[in-house]
Chain A
């Protein structure tokens, strides 16, 4: 307990998460376990000794390349040609474009920063309030890591030992539900605020936009289709996605130049290393927890109090929501999964179900203050104070929380598709 408090104190003081874990782990190994601390170095060094982990940098690089290649413009044009003719058209376009982009990138921040820039400008030019445009962009960016592929699902799958293909399948329906629920809210706003159409519907424009975006749209077919059909492992799919995005950007769209590549690789490497270093450090904490049988003891304690799975899931959601307000999604997944999984498994909760609940909850955390990455990115893009975006965002939490509660308490919404594809 003392060491858990120490870890929280170090993190609250602003020590980097991975360093805080290493510091606590080293002190515990030496002072409590009275062992040679060499084991700590060994655990940290071998913490990322896993081939499937390569999927994390690959999916990150693929998202970066796609943003760079200008795929976002093509996706936006396609979404506009599809739903731009409805009242409140551009607001629907915002959500639909995020859903389409979600099938390619798997990162909420890539959506908020890349697509968000185009969406907010277009909505502003079309007469929408910039606060509303920014709030909607932030809310719709959370769909990115739910509709496959998803970097967060890769991290959860590797931490929990759950099939990543299965998680990808499990995220599809909740992702569509998020998009649908946001569109329902837009319908309400459009009627109330009398938003107009963006353009007249034209089959010709739809056909042109589809042709324009066709190669980009093939990305989810190749990545997700390849994984679900059992052709690719997630790591190979990630590598292939990078190759495909590189060919699109360099040789077909010709937006990527050799001189851009070192900087692009460097930025991706930093983002990936940030997550991988926490995974390495968590291997030390995970080893200590296992050696001290903490997850099992905790699971037995909770089961002894006979809490129902319903109550447990509610408590998990509250805990994740609280943590998500202060921390990024990846470290929460890496730190909490090994602790929560034995408890939920004893309660009969499917690990795939837990994963989708965790990730969706933490994605809502990306748009909550005081620490919400997408919130900051969107506020930056819209050139608005963060608190003004937060104020406009409040109504958008309603549909997202409803979807979270639905998938929490109706597991079949998550498990139906993986079951159908033979994963569950």
Chain B
């Protein structure tokens, strides 16, 4: 679809700090995951002394970067989807459908976010095997990532709805497909 309209100043203001938070959170978690896996390979093959905690740390960081990235993927409208049918509709109808779908997505992920908080509570006494990290800090990644995703779904729904209600849609950029994903 199109980029979010620049006019929505309130949206930009709330977006930037959240976007930066998700960006650096994702990069740091991914970086730690890579370094932990390198340590595992190096310690095992070059020193014949496998470190027990590296694999677990890499896995925990995979949780964190995956769920943190979900928010950014929503923001960039890059979550994998089937858009072949929707693009057959006129522009205004596309925007209405997008607003409804994004709002529905926010509701369902909001529900899952609430459940993830309950899950954290339930797992508060469980600890990981090697690093002894309480599981609630691992599941926190789901709660934080989903919270970001819900905020962006709502923001995109509002932006699309506002665009759909515009009298003239000529200035709205046309649909683009995402080319980055494998």
Chain A interface residues (CB < 8 Å from chain B): 10-19, 22-23, 26, 37-38, 40-42, 44-45, 48-51, 53-54, 57-58, 60-61, 107-110, 113, 151, 232, 235-236, 238-240, 242-243, 262, 265-278, 280, 325-331, 370-371, 373, 376-377, 380
| Overall SS of chain A's interface | helix
Known A-B contacts: A38-B122, A239-B41, A371-B84. Give 11 more (CB < 8 A): A16-B105, A18-B79, A50-B59, A51-B58, A51-B59, A151-B182, A242-B34, A269-B26, A271-B181, A271-B182, A373-B181
User: B101 to nearest A CB, angstroms?
Assistant: 5
What is the count of residue pairs linking A and B with beta-carbon distances less than 8 angstroms? 202
Per CB-CB distance, the 5 closest pairs between chain A and chain B, nearest first, are: A273-B69, A41-B115, A16-B79, A239-B37, A23-B108
Q: Give bound CA distance, A395 to B166, whole Å.
A: 45
In the complex the two chains form, is B66's CB within 8 Å of A16's CB?
no
With an 8 A cutoff between CB atoms, is B155 at the interface?
no
With an 8 A cutoff between CB atoms, is B33 at the interface?
yes
Q: Which of B38, B97, B122, B139 contacts A14 (CB 8 A)?
A: B97
B 34-54 contacts with A by CB, 8 A: 34, 37-38, 40-41, 44
**Chain B interfacial residues counted at CB < 8 A:** 59
In the complex the two chains form, is B104's CB within 8 Å of A17's CB?
no
| Overall SS of chain B's interface | helix
In the complex the two chains form, is B59's CB within 8 Å of A49's CB?
yes
In the complex the two chains form, is A276's CB within 8 Å of B182's CB?
no
A18 contacts which chain B residues (CB < 8 A)? 79-80
User: B1 to nearest A CB, angstroms?
Assistant: 9
Chain B interface residues (CB < 8 Å from chain A): 23, 26-27, 29-31, 33-34, 37-38, 40-41, 44, 55, 58-59, 62-63, 65-70, 72-74, 76, 78-86, 97-98, 100-101, 104-105, 108-109, 111-112, 115-116, 118-119, 122, 139, 142, 177, 179-182
Given contacts A17-B81, A270-B78, A273-B65, contact A235 B108 (CB under 8 A): no
User: B22 to nearest A CB, angstroms?
Assistant: 10
